[in-house]
A and B are shown apart, each in its own frame.
Chain A
């Protein structure tokens, strides 16, 4: 046990090593190597004890005194990782990685360094073209270090980069290569999941389902296998079985009049239902039948957005509330928000009933508009784009990541009668979109669309015996549909 305070340890270590440092300057390289190893191990020990400053100083000393050692690139990599994982300052990691790339490209650690550099560059990207540098780093890993354990990680990221550029075929090749070449790699389950989703985007639903099943068979205990289970369930239910909707009544377990004017629904990343109760001015998470408040209080919320970080964003006339942060981010005066979604680049797409365009807010707060008809509802799509409903044009538009319409579905297509309004849209992350409609000969009802815009399931509320005022809906992970009835203060599940 040491009684020396942490601030004393680094100088003490350096003091102890001083004779070696002095000797190292004049003696043979073999002794340099010894010194480098001792410094590196000393840093490792300090780091394991969470004495980060001591560790960083020691590794810095190593880089300064024995830069030619085989331990120098290891130290650089550790320093970079520390900045990313502990300090959460990726920009501070870049100088280390740049140095690694410039001076130690032959070292085995350079593979991990290049991969990390690529990951950081990909995170900085705000549009597809920004991925170019990141992809170059991933390709360098593959070309220069084909046997490195970093290869599966590089391929996975390369696949994602291709996918984010809309190059699904190329993405699929990379994902497949991950688990074909290294089935035991840590990245293999994730690559299988992403390959399956890419197959679906490419229109190969059977291939997608088989791949998800393979994932469940090969890595049954992985988080991806749990993901695969619900993805299989919703696809089979909505796209293959397509049973008529059946009203299961008040949900969960027949609870009625237990809410205070619920108006909005969304699904959290782990599958829990999120709902906003207008009379309580607050959002809640429904977890095992219990309501748990989420985020700060907010009045008049018009849209819920679930970012990848897992918290909840609330959009209202007043602005945007992000997670636990009570500070309101202004939304450029949008007063009639009808829907919102986050894209792959972290930009927030907002639909406003009074704006004949979509407004996109980038993560740095800047906004731009994307030409579009006035959108009465909006939801995200797994392809990276969004779906909007334009009542004025009586069309549902599947937009790609650039806002260009890829599929247009006229209101009433594939239905016995047409409707006039879309009240809300919801997507399940597996390609299905639920649409809450009203008006016209169809009247109040719901329908589920496939990724190609085809109507998979539909029903009118009249046929289901629903009389309330349904304002929002969500697709759950069992292939069911949850409706939010603000008049009767309850939730209804359709199966």
Chain B
């Protein structure tokens, strides 16, 4: 992994704090716009300890352990210890998850296939790059230090990195190679 990059797994379960610096829950997932160049985080899924409202709607009773998708405009800062939100709990803006691509749910650990449907490998890690308060998708890592990818996969990743002008020997498939995300598999343009 190159300097300035982080793994999605290191962000997940990170503390989420509101405008009054109160811990309100933890980070559950991130929604990304894959069409953007580079793909950028559009929403943050927060596992709230409790809430009594969803957006402007007051609920008849308080609910616990609820996951809400908040637009990225709610994110004030990304800190190594916590994610800070712009508003006070529970007065957050909320977003619909309809049609959204969630990295943990839809990408991490997912089966990758080539355009012909041949199985390649699973996504072992999702590599992100924070820039200020924004978060960009760098690519999909195959293999870990303790679990190297197969030679066939190394060759494919090397070819893709050359094609998209990525330096270094990292086993990260550049985001440009992601053709689409289907229900069962992530299609890679090999």
Co-assembled chains A and B: no
